Amino acid sequence: MRRRLPRASARLSILLGALCACTQAGYQNVTHPGFGDAEYKDDLAQCRRENSAVVTTQGYDMQSRVTVDEAKAAACMSARGWQKAGA
């Protein structure tokens, strides 16, 4: 015998899903108030790319990995006007 979710639980799940999908971005740009999530993601990718380095280790096999200086990337984002929303 299969159990079904009560209607109240199903409605609550739908409501919570809708609210989570509509949450505001966690960052705002103080120099460009019209910027949104897309611009934030673009700037973050650029800042991380500018402050990354490829580290190669040689041994039995050669391995490469990318490291990001997160402190410098955060400073880059601040320089571009990004700060936590509500700060």
- Domain ranges for the chain, please list them: 27-84
pLDDT of residue 4: 55
Q: Can you list the residues of the chain whose pLDDT is less than 70?
A: 1-25, 87
Measured between alpha carbons, how far is residue 86 from residues 8, 29, 30, 31, 38 in Å?
Answer: 33, 11, 11, 15, 19
What pLDDT does 23 receive?
46
Task: Look at residue 8 in the predicted model and tell me its pLDDT.
Answer: 60
pLDDT at 59: 87
What integer pLDDT is reported at residue 50 of this predicted model? 97
Place of tokens 């079904």: 4
Summarize pLDDT for 30-54 with one digit per residue, the tens. 999 999 999 999 999 999 999 999 9
Q: What pLDDT sits at residue 11? A: 65
